[in-house]
Amino acid sequence: MTEELNIKQFFSEFIHFISRNKKTITSFIALGIILVILFQNLKPSYYDTQAICMSGISEYERLEQLEELSQRTAVDLINYLQINIYNKDYSELSSLLNISKEIAAKIKHIEAEQLYQQDMNEKFYALNKFEIRLSVFDNTTIDDIQEGLIFYFNNNNFIKEYHKMYISSNNRLMDDIAQEMNVLSKMRIEGAKNNLDLSSVNIISGKEDKTISNQIISLAQLKEEINTNQLLLKPLFFVQDFAKTNKTERDILLWSFVGGFLSFLISLLVCFIKEIR
């Protein structure tokens, strides 16, 4: 009972304290909000945009890895750039992206994140795509930065080496398939002449040990699949380019609230000190 009375008394005195000093408190809050608005309008505005990408790096590495890690290397390479942005090392950033220092200095923030999709059982599974979120101070630099990211991936020594091995391996595999197709073609001709049944002959194909018929058309499809992947699985490919946004971001509402709240706390302290004196 005593505690309830104390709490009621405290709130009653606090309300009376606010009422006695409402002009001072209101002035502080208004001043804080005005200063925040002025500061936010004076500092450079920025533009937020995003893109959807995919990368063939995991395919180059030929790793039997978890699905969640399918785009992990590409995501890490993008996020690595934020270190240079945070440290304002625009010389290194311009070198990595093959852009000028002036354009590199216009990058406020960059971040990549793996994309997921939810199935009917409410379970999330990773897609073979990821999202890049970009903030820049000049929206005319967005295209240059996008080209710079492609350059960054294409000229990374790790990716270049694995991509080279991937192309070489695929070329050898397609040559082997072509030779096998020739052998099967000859076997068919000989089998037709000698009434041999070749339908029981099978070959194992792909990373999942999928058994397919030895028909030439199956090998041709496998060869085309390898060739298509080789052409399309680039180090970095933009499924959806960065949006060309013209809307500036300043966070005025958020910082006005923060500024008003801090001003309120300061005004309480000032008024308390005045009343003690």
Q: What's the average model confidence in pLDDT over 224-243?
A: 82
Amino acid making up residue 90:
Y
Q: Which of 185, 261, 240, 233 is nearest to 50 (CA)?
A: 240
Distance CA 273, CA 13 (A): 16
The token pair at 54 is: 């995919």
pLDDT of residue 238: 93
Q: DSSP readout, the chain?
A: -HHHHHHHHHHHHHHHHHHHTHHHHHHHHHHHHHHHHHHHHHSPPEEEEEEEEE--HHHHHT----GGGTTHHHHHHHHHHHHHHHTT-HHHHHHHHT--HHHHTTEEEEEEEEEEEE-TTS-EEEEEEEEEEEEES-GGGHHHHHHHHHHHHHT-HHHHHHHHHHHHHHHHHHHHHHHHHHHHHHHHHHHHHHT---TT-EEEETTTTEEEE--HHHHHHHHHHHHHHHHH--SSEEEEPPP----EE--HHHHHHHHHHHHHHHHHHHHHHHHH-
The model's pLDDT over 156-213, given as tens digits with 9 standing for 90+, comes to 998 888 888 888 877 888 787 777 777 777 766 666 556 555 554 555 455 454 444 4
Residue 64 has pLDDT above 90, yes or no: no
Percentage with pLDDT > 70 across the chain = 78
pLDDT of residue 221: 74
Q: What's the average model confidence in pLDDT over 228-243?
A: 84
> What does the radius of gyration of the chain's CA atoms come to, in whole angstroms?
32
Percentage with pLDDT > 90 across the chain = 28
pLDDT of residue 194: 61
Considering the entire predicted model, what is its pTM?
Answer: 0.64
Q: What's the average model confidence in pLDDT over 38-56?
A: 82
pLDDT of residue 81: 95
pLDDT of residue 87: 93
CB 115 within 8 A of CB 52: yes
pLDDT of residue 66: 47
**113-117, 247-251, 273-277 — most confident range:** 113-117
C-alpha distances (whole Å) from 267 to each of 34, 39, 140, 202, 260 are 15, 20, 44, 84, 10
The model's pLDDT over 112-169, given as tens digits with 9 standing for 90+, comes to 999 888 777 777 777 888 999 999 999 999 999 999 999 999 999 988 888 888 888 7
Amino acid making up residue 53:
C
The model's pLDDT over 252-273, given as tens digits with 9 standing for 90+, comes to 667 677 777 888 888 878 777 7
Confidence of residue 96 (pLDDT cuts 50, 70, 90): very high
C-alpha distances (whole Å) from 43 to each of 46, 108, 251 are 10, 13, 11
